[in-house]
Amino acid sequence: MRVLTLLLALTSSASLAQTTPAPAAPAAPQGALTAAQNATQLAAQARDLAARARTAYPKGSANIDQPLWKQAAAAAEAAVQAAPDQPDVLRLRAQIYTEVGFWRQAELAWTAYFKLAPSAAKNSAEAKSAATVQYNLGYAAYTRTQPEQAAAFFAACLSFDPANVLCTTWAARTALEAGKSAEALALYDRALALTPGDKILTYLRGVTSRAAQYGPEATRIFSRAYADLEAGRKAQALTGFQAAARLVPTFAEAQREAGRLALDLGNVDAAADAYTTLVALPSPTAADRYNLTLVQEAQQYGLGAVQTFRAAYSKYAAGDKAGAEAGFQAATEQSPRYAKAWAWLGRARYERKEYPGAASAYEQAVTLDPADKSSAYYLRLAQQGK
């Protein structure tokens, strides 16, 4: 009777009234069904409800608050109470909680299942499902800034599925943030062995290998900022990269990430600070130098105008003269004092023999930059129509 009471209480809630009621467990005189028979019927009902839920709701949207999934979980729980020593019933309950992302209940359910079927905890589909649960619990703990709990969940994930790349990567990250750089390096090597050539893992391994150079605190802040970046929290990530760079100004990766992200967010001054520092460090890249000139121009003429001009120049170099001319003109409209954009607009017009328009553009270029001898020369030619 306690099983039927639980099932009826769950299926009669207000949230269930908006959907077709689930078929109730068959009524029978008390004692007419054995516990095993009752569990079998309830498990069949749970499977049917889960199948109906997969059809009724959009793929990937499963959650415990959806009525059919709630009923499926209730039937599975009732089946377990009817026959708590049947592994297949316990497995069904764990699978349902995993599918709906009810991670804490799923963890408890898999623990109960593996207690009855310990051999399934290794190298099985069930073990991989349990690993997925541990990963999600770990990531949730990480986002709550509970690094020790997160590390424990990621370690548990790897105990179920040693080849789980996500858990290996996040175990490496939590080890790095805990100041365990040697352990983190070994875990990144393990992750790269699972996914050879992965650019992000290679990059993070490189940062980890230099953790002793940057110090544990700056490295921890960098790692956290990178996690924010991966999650799309760009402003928060920029703040983190800047903090790491301030702590250790020679932390090239932190400076570079801060500069790139500041550009992406339109923060020209922050980008200029980062790239100025980078170019002063040993071995700046060509991209560092390019971006420094970009932000220096952007401080004068505006980031939008400079980006428009550079995109137009790329079109010009690729042979798209019409697209380039339109881009140069757009840059002059965005920043009327942008002498270089006027000069290149004059050139694009001159090359197609549109001399009056070329002369007008070159005149603007010379007015804004009297030292531009090339524009002065072509201005005279354009005025002469040759």
DSSP secondary structure string for all residues of 73-126:
HHHHHHHHHH-TT-HHHHHHHHHHHHHTT-HHHHHHHHHHHHHH-GGGGSSSHH
| pLDDT attached to residue 22 | 38
End-to-end alpha-carbon separation of the chain, Å? 101
Residue 162 DSSP label: T
CA-to-CA distance for 334 and 210, rounded, in angstroms?
Answer: 43
Q: What parts of the chain have a pLDDT lower than 70?
A: 1-33, 386
CA-to-CA distance for 27 and 73, rounded, in angstroms?
Answer: 20
- Note whether 281 and 252 are within 8 A (CB): yes
| pLDDT attached to residue 363 | 96
- Note whether 346 and 378 are within 8 A (CB): yes
State the greatest distance between any 2 C-alpha atoms of the chain, in Å, as a whole number.
Answer: 109
Q: What is the DSSP string of 330-344?
A: HHHHH-TT-HHHHHH
Residue 328 DSSP label: H
pTM of the shown model: 0.77
**Distances, alpha carbon 21 to alpha carbons 1, 11, 174, in Å:** 20, 8, 46
Rounded to the nearest 10°, the torsion over CA 51, 127, 142, 166 is -100
Q: What is the pLDDT of residues 182-237, one digit of tens each?
A: 999 999 999 999 999 999 999 999 999 999 999 999 999 999 999 999 999 999 99
Q: Quick one: tokens of 264?
A: 């992406």
- Note whether 253 and 242 are within 8 A (CB): no
